[in-house]
Structure formats: structure tokens, C-alpha cells
Amino acid sequence: MLYIGIDLGTSAVKLLLIDEKGNILKTVSKKYPLYISNSSWSEQKPEDWYLKTIEGIKDLVSNCKKEDICGISFGGQMHGLVTLDEKDNIIRPAILWNDGRSTQETDYLNTTIGKEKISQYTANIAFTGFTAPKILWMKKNEPKKFSKISKIMLPKDYLAYKLSGNHCTDYSDASGTLLLDVKNKCWSKEMLKICDITEEQLPKIYESYDIVGILKKEIAKELNLSPKVKIIAGAGDNAAAAVGTGTVGEGMCNISLGTSGTIFISRKTFEVDKNNALHSFAHADGYYHLMGCMLSAASSNKWWMDEILKTNEYSNEQMKIKKLGENNVFYLPYLMGERSPHNDPRARATFTGMTMNTTREDMIQAVLEGVTFGLRDSLEVAKSLGMKIQRTKICGGGAKSHLWKKILSNIMNLKLDIIENEEGPSYGAAILAAVGCGEFSSVEETKNIIKIIDTVNPNKELVNKYEEKYQKFHQIYPEMKNLFKIIT
């Protein structure tokens, strides 16, 4: 039997085909545009997502036995606001996870309503990336469009809706809306009232491995697939990526170096840190997870290499970096503000410590180290909860860099397990499709198909050097915080 995983990313949709043993048979990627009309806005057209997904499925299944395809599931960028009217027309472009326009609405939720109450309702506090502040922004700034809303959904769920006709979401993705009572796994009546929306406008919530419908007949005909193909709910990109790396069950850890960066810790029990520095979300395995999320991880490196140095020779540039733990240049990776653990949309990227002796290599190294130091900030919060994390899996585009993996292992002081198939959310989504179709008895069982092929071990001497550097990095943001309020 064959299963399709669809990862709706920020720059492209990635599709992946696996067999019943989890072997990857084919991958396809289709790009679509991102619209940034000013420094803090980030939008996409859901129509582009759907058209490219259909193109991608056609390419993906072109050389396989189409009758063997049993299920389709999804991973996708979280928090985006997709709105439809009563005729299923898209009301406006989707407002994405990295959009920063809702600063005032976020402040209103955290200050006027209060962080304590928001956390009580949802287990989290407001971030500009979350969906609820976007809804409040739309109500205030686009009241006519707001009044037309019949359905509210998340990006990947728009694809599920188009393929199945079912208005649905899953608990992991819904956790990032700031509309879900995460602990009790239901929509928060208090948050719906605050946002002036009804439960009827929101999708029905499923576990990530649940069947939400079957492929529409007309779409099955277009794709030359069986109309019995099951559509499985899927998960937010980080939860899907965690499934794809075997980060399920109790106490497992995964670090993602994608456009955004995350540290993801799976838990079988619900937990919230006292300052809400980490997100407390439902997981795709039916339980929970804690997650620290930074907005500009591999995208920091991409920005520095592509836009500033004007080169695509990433590997060649990194090969020149030799003196780890000795760099005196520090980079704050806040190109689009920051979420975990600072929750500061006004934060900006900075370089500190340059001298006349600073080299090109020092600056490149500072970017890689700065992103990793930023992720360690979230790791320290997890440690404060008593978690003893000794090793982690890794995924995302940045994980292809041998140098970055070495830096990460030593800054975090963690053993870094390298898996055979690092395909991120698309692989996890395909696995969820297999679980939903009965190929596996549970999501947790699927971790047995994830193969570890190598481990990067921290070096004690380098760990000590980076510990000294991290303690310095850790002091820079607090000193800069008030300045960010002035310059942004």
C-alpha cells in the first residue's frame, strides 16, 4: 500500500510517497510566491497552495500503481488565517505565521485581557504569529471582510477541505491558534467570545491520525486516483516533523533548523512553564508537547548568504570556518521579531563585537552560532522544568550542514542523532496517513521505522568554550530590549 504526505511550507509544497514499511519512493516540490507588502506583513494566496498541490500529486503518482494509494495526510505551516465566505470564496489572502501586523492585538490579549487569563483559557500566551490576534486585527481593520466570514481554517486544513469537503483541523495545529483549550482539547468558549467568532465558524477537531473524509469524486477523477482514498487530518509542521523523526512518546526531543527553528519535546502529560516561554501544545501522537520556536533560523543563514554576501556557495563558505568556540562576534537572530522565549515582535537582528580584525568567516560563524544560542534559550526553560534531555534528533534544511550540527551539539551539550530519512513534515504526514489507514496500531509504534545512522557527540573542551560564549550571548537581548522599542 502507498501513502502520500503533503507538507505545505512557506516557500513551497513538498509531497512525498511512502510504502507500508515507511520507505520513501518519491518526492516532489512545487514553489509558490510569498507576498511581503511591508516589513511586517507576510501573506500567501490559498489558491496557489491548492493548484501547486494538485500539480504535485500528479507528478508524485505518475509512475506508481495508483490503485495502491490508500491515504493522504498533511503537515503544514501553522497559525495562518484562512477565511472563506458562505459560498466558499476566499475572502482575503492568508495571513501567515511570520506576519507581525497584529502587535496591538497581541498586546491587548496579553495586557488588557491578561497573560494569566489567556494562559488559563489556552495554556499559552498571545504571540503575533498566532491566529487569534490575526482575527482581532481583521475585525478592527477589515470589518466588512470580517463580517463575511463563514469558515475559519488553518493553511493545511484548506487543502484537506478542498480534497475532502470536510471543514476540519487537528489538535496539534489548533493548539497554535490561541483558540484551543489545549489541556481539555476543545475550543475555548472564552477566547471565541473575545474574538467575536462562533464555534460554527471553526472546524471540527480530530486527532492527527483520524480519517476526516475521502477524496472527492471529481478530484479523484482529475488525479486518476480511487475515490476511496482516505484523507487523514494531519498535523502542524513541527508535530508532523516530530513524527517523521520518531519524536513521539515520553521525553523525546527534536530540533528543527528550517525557515523557523524549534526545539520540540514530546510529553505524555500536560504541562505549562510558569512564564509561558515555551508553547504547550497537543501532539500528533495523541498526547502533548512543549516547544520553543524562533522565527528566523535557517532563514537567518539564507538571508546572510543570499542577500548580504550574494553567494549560494554555502558549503564552501562554511569549510573555511575552523576556530569553533573562539568567535567574539555575536548575532541576535531576530530578523522578524522573536517568539520563544522572549515574545518580542519588536526585536531585531544585530551583530555585536566586530573589530578591525573581524573576518568574513567570523560573520558567517556568528550567524550559525547565534541561531543555536537562540534555541538554547528555550532548552534552558525546559531544563528549569526538571527535564533531563541528553540527546535529540534533528531535521530541517540547516541539518544538512555538518558544521552547524557540530556547533549545535556543543552549544546544547546534547548527543545529536542523525536519521536516515530527513524529510521533515512531509514524511511525518505520510506516516500519519499510514496510521490512519490501519498500517500501524498507533503513532508511537511508527518510531520503530525511523533509522539512526550516525550520532554527533559533544566535545567536552568545546562545550566549555561555548558555555562561556552562551553566557555572554544570554546578556545581549536584555540590554537591547529597550532600544528595540525605540527603533521599531
What are the CA-CA distances from residue 441 to residues 253, 324, 377, 446 (Å)? 22, 45, 36, 9
**In contact, 395 and 245? CB cutoff 8 Å:** yes
> Could you tell me whether strands 230-232 and 211-214 are parallel, antiparallel, or unpaired per DSSP bridges?
antiparallel
Which residue stretches of 44-142 are H helix?
46-60, 103-107, 115-122, 131-141
Q: Check if the beta carbon of residue 188 is closer than 8 Å to that of residue 136.
A: no
Cβ(271)–Cβ(288) below 8 Å: yes
What whole-number distance in Å separates Cα of residue 226 and Cα of residue 327? 57
The β-bridge relationship of strands 391-395 and 253-257 is: parallel
Per residue in 404-425, is it b (16+ CB within 10 Å) or e — as a string?
A: bbbbbbbbbbbebbbbebbbbb
Residue 215 in 3-state DSSP? coil
Which residues are part of a known binding site? 78-79
290: Cα separation from own chain's centroid: 13
Pairing of strands 391-395, 415-419: parallel
d(CA 264, CA 252): 8
Taking alpha carbons only, the member of 426, 431, 428, 451 closest to residue 441 is 431
Of 99, 157, 181, 237, the active-site residue reads: 237
237 is catalytic: yes
C-alpha grid cell, residue 370: 547565534
Which helix (DSSP H) or strand (DSSP E) does residue 169 occupy?
Answer: strand 168-170
- Hunting for cell 524549534 — which residue is that? 262
Binding residues for substrate: 78-79
Q: Are 129 and 97 in contact (CB under 8 A)?
A: yes
Region at 231 (left for phi over 0; alpha for psi -120 to 50; beta for the rest)? beta
Catalytic residues: 237
